[in-house]
Structure 1
């Protein structure tokens, strides 16, 4: 894994033109991030029903790719070779599926878009995520948590039919089988909101693991406010998945504190654990309905059994559930956007499987599907080990909480069905980790950046 992550792009940060190229690429990274955060808001509150906005975040991402190719600022590693080989395999399989079972070309194109378009973010964005730009990313996410928390509280207290809770189709948005609002923040679905919240919680915990002089948020009272805000964001969400991912962040932070061997870091994480019951009580005061339904989702017999099945399917279902097939059902068959305009567009996913990695094997066929899924899982575990290595050097403790929740998302949750919002955020999280590997923040930041870009592990 370490060998695969060596970065051999010939970039010298001492040359003004090349400093400018890193800065421009960082600008495109932030443009991509902010577009992801606010695309849902544009779709549901400004232009509801305009399906084309589904691809809005692709614009800055594609601009990033074009600029990276033009400037030569991207990773040339074994990871790049793996991405190319995997892409060729999936494209060839899609061509076979178009010819043999007659997979519609539009469905195949949307499927290829969701499977492949966002993976190169791993090769491009780490090149620009220097310690300075990572600190900016942490700061902006934590500052965003305060208005996002206020919005989440407003959504939790409002009826499902309220303007603040409507979907990108202009409809009411609530939890299934209840009149309780499904909190989604600026995003157009709760799952996408949950990914951002989990990332914000991880970054917040990483700040507490750092000594004050190295933090992005220097004032402790501001960091405390952000900590309360990010925890309220996940507790009022009404989503088990969001709370579980935040819990994994906390486990990652605990491990990080132990690895650092810092009493201050251990006490900080312990203090956040003590804060959680307080924020849970605040959740009950804000919205008893949200609090009660999430408590029922964790303890109710029906939900417990459903949760066990989801976990089991997520771990081994990809190897046991799909029937053997060389061709597969067709890449993109379980992607909602592939059936745009069809009244039953959402049913195509469930005809295969709601679990992403099971559906991947069904869509791609057994040989290609298992290859894709196993590479995906191995990469996620590899990033956890890389994060541990980074923290052991005393650099960027944010990466360990990040890697824990990203492991769950990559292994068990969606990357391809709603890739525009799920895969993009996952790739941003992994880019942050890779950036911390190439640009450690426990050294002089930009003056020696070329050394880390050139080094091999």
Structure 2
């Protein structure tokens, strides 16, 4: 299915761009607000980006931005039908139902709006910002990694407990400025998109910023003790290689970039104690995982597709559980943050809305991801690098990302929106 979004030219869209930037910053610092700054408002801050999303949509309607397409319409239909079934025949809790419905009704359309209003300069400016934030964030997770879980920097949501997750060798997976490690992993995967792009393209970027952010990323990855983060960055690199290997000159640029990154890596290994410690802890977690490290992740990814599809076929045609699959919904319904349906995203969709509506949303997201990839591959060779590098992060976020988790939902919206903006033919590629 072809995605056609006409990009806008009117300066009035600056208000929407500003709101998108606010949405972006709240995605990164939502956890900081909930842990350190306003812990007493930790629960309401779960939806801190929702008013921004509503403003963006209303402003887009007012300014007649063309963002309504088949994906948005079908997503809204499936969700509204699921909400009606939930309120009349399911758990019946209005707030839980609306919390589940907001994902497709007010966040998913933002992908299309970002694709319509962002130009290449907007994408690159967000990349510069992310690379700068990456340096600061790496300093934060350094202190989180080396500090005890009782330290203030490791305090949990609402100012209680610890935000760290079990890692290895007595060290914990840090959360950075996010609520959980999942948001931090998604951040590093997305920032790697820009780092790979600026290394492989002729685009202007401060070498000091690029090298500093690359060093920060290499130091941060083992400190996260997250296999998802490391393998996600590797996947982004693979897509960047596909997008850049279009001529002899581009292949030479790839080789030079790999050599530079390898030199930085070796230098860190020989001179930085914390890098060696983080690598040791990270490899220990790999070793204690069942089976081969890479194989377990690949198997888990494959099973994330196959098992929910098999389970979906066993579900009733309709189920009124919209919102129940989210942690917030579980808390409101049962007073527990445990998953009431499924930890996996596709399993959540199936368990919340059944074979017809849940299956429809699964297919919609799969087709949407394939459409973005197809449109990226169709671009001329000299325009493929940026969108294909984004594909390395966006495709899994769209098809398997846990949108029930606010940080992952925010990352999916931003990454997919930037991917769609980078595809658009009206973006000037220098």
Pair in the same fold by TM > 0.5: yes
Deviation of residue 126 (structure 1)?
A: 1.6
5+ long unaligned stretches in structure 2: none
Residue 430 in structure 1 maps to residue 416 in structure 2: yes
Aligned equivalent of 1:69: 61
Aligned residues: 422
CA apart distance, 1:152: 1.7
Residues of 2 paired with 1:299 and 1:38: CA distance? 33
* 1:247 maps to 2:234: yes
- Of 260, 264, 279, 1:291 maps to 279
Asked if the contact 2:174–2:224 (Cα under 8 Å) also holds between the matched residues in 1, the reply is yes
Deviations 1:5-24 (A, max 9, x none): 22357x5x3xxxx2x21322
When residues 289 and 396 of structure 1 are mapped into structure 2, their CA distance, relative to the original with a 3 A threshold, is same
1:290 is displaced (CA, Å) by 4.2
| Paired position in structure 1 for 2:385 | 397
Alignment of 1:200-215 (within 5 A): 200-211=191-202, 214-215=203-204
**1:188 to 2:179 alignment:** yes
The Cα offsets for residues 102-147 of structure 1, whole Å up to 9 and x where unpaired, read as: 4322221111123432101022112221122122111111121111
Q: Residue by residue, what CA displacement relative to the aligned partner does 1:240-282 show, whole Å, maximum 9, x if unpaired?
A: 1111111111111111221354144222442255257437737
Matches within 5 A, 1:332-347: 332-340=323-331, 344-347=335-338
Deviations 1:390-447 (A, max 9, x none): 4x342372322221122222223312x21x321221111111122122233325xxxx
Match of 2:23 among 24, 32, 54: 32
| 1:12-411 map, 5 Å | 13=9, 18=10, 20-50=11-41, 51-76=43-68, 80-170=69-159, 171-176=161-166, 179-211=170-202, 214-215=203-204, 217=205, 219-259=206-246, 261=248, 262-271=250-259, 274-275=262-263, 277-278=265-266, 281=269, 285-286=273-274, 290-302=278-290, 304=292, 307=297, 310-322=300-312, 323-328=314-319, 330-340=321-331, 344-347=335-338, 349=339, 351-390=340-379, 392-395=380-383, 397-411=385-399
Q: CA 1:342–1:278 in 2, change beyond 3 Å: closer, same or farther?
A: farther
- Please give the alpha-carbon distance, in whole angstroms, between the structure 2 residues aligned to 1:346 and 1:73: 39
Distance 1:81 1:282, change over 3 A: farther
Q: Secondary structure at the match of 1:352?
A: coil
For the structure 1 residues 308 and 101, does the alpha-carbon distance in structure 2 shift closer, same or farther, using more than 3 Å as the test?
Answer: same
1:231: Cα distance to partner?
2.5
Q: Is the 8 A contact 1:329 1:362 kept in 2?
A: no
User: What is the rounded CA distance, in whole Å, between the counterparts of 2:157 and 2:62 in structure 1?
Assistant: 36
Q: Which consecutive residues of structure 1, in runs of 5 or more, have no partner in the other structure? A: 444-457
1:203 deviates by 0.9
Q: Secondary structure at the match of 1:21?
A: helix
The answer on whether the counterparts of 1:206 and 1:397 sit within 8 Å (CA) in structure 2 is: yes
Residues 96 and 353 of structure 1: CA distance in aligned 2, closer, same or farther (over 3 Å): same
The answer to whether the 8 Å contact 2:394/2:419 transfers is no
**What is the alpha-carbon distance in structure 1 between the residues aligned to residue 266 and residue 386 of structure 2?**
24
How far did residue 343 of structure 1 move?
7.1
Superposition CA RMSD, Å: 2.6
Quickly say closer, same or farther: Cα 1:288–1:131, change in 2 above 3 A. closer
**1:164 deviation in Å?**
1.0
Say if 1:364 and 1:341 are closer, same or farther in 2 by CA, change over 3 A. Answer: closer
- Mapped to 1, the partners of 2:210 and 2:216 lie a distance apart of 10
In structure 1, what is the Cα distance between the partners aligned to 2:370 and 2:79?
22
User: Counterparts of 1:238 and 1:210 in 2: how far apart (Å)?
Assistant: 30
Whole-Å Cα distance in 2 between the matches of residues 68 and 117 of structure 1?
A: 12
Distance change (3 Å), C-alpha of 1:146 and 1:308? closer
Change (3 A) 1:111 1:342: closer
TM-score for the superposition, normalised by structure 2: 0.90
Bigger CA drift: 264-273 or 112-121?
Answer: 264-273
1:348-369 residue CA offsets vs partner (Å, 9 max, x unmatched): x2x4221110121111101211
**Aligned-partner Cα distance in 2 for 1:43–1:120:** 26
Deviates further, 128-137 or 196-205: 128-137
Distance 1:98 1:342 in 2: 13
- Supply the distance in 2 between the matched residues of 1:399 and 1:275 (Cα, whole angstroms): 27
User: 2: distance between equivalents of 1:324 and 1:29?
Assistant: 38
For 1:55 and 1:314, the matched residues in 2 are separated by 27
TM-score (norm 1): 0.85
CA distance in 1, matches of 2:101, 2:263: 44
Q: Secondary structure at the match of 2:319?
A: coil
1:238 shift after superposition: 1.0
Residues 107 and 338 in structure 1, CA contact (< 8 A), matched pair in contact too: yes
Would the aligned equivalents of 1:331 and 1:364 in 2 still touch at CA under 8 Å?
yes
Q: By how many angstroms is 1:89 displaced?
A: 2.1
CA–CA separation in structure 2 for the residues paired with 1:284 and 1:329: 54
In structure 2, do the counterparts of structure 1 residues 91 and 194 end up closer, same or farther at CA, with 3 Å as the change threshold? same
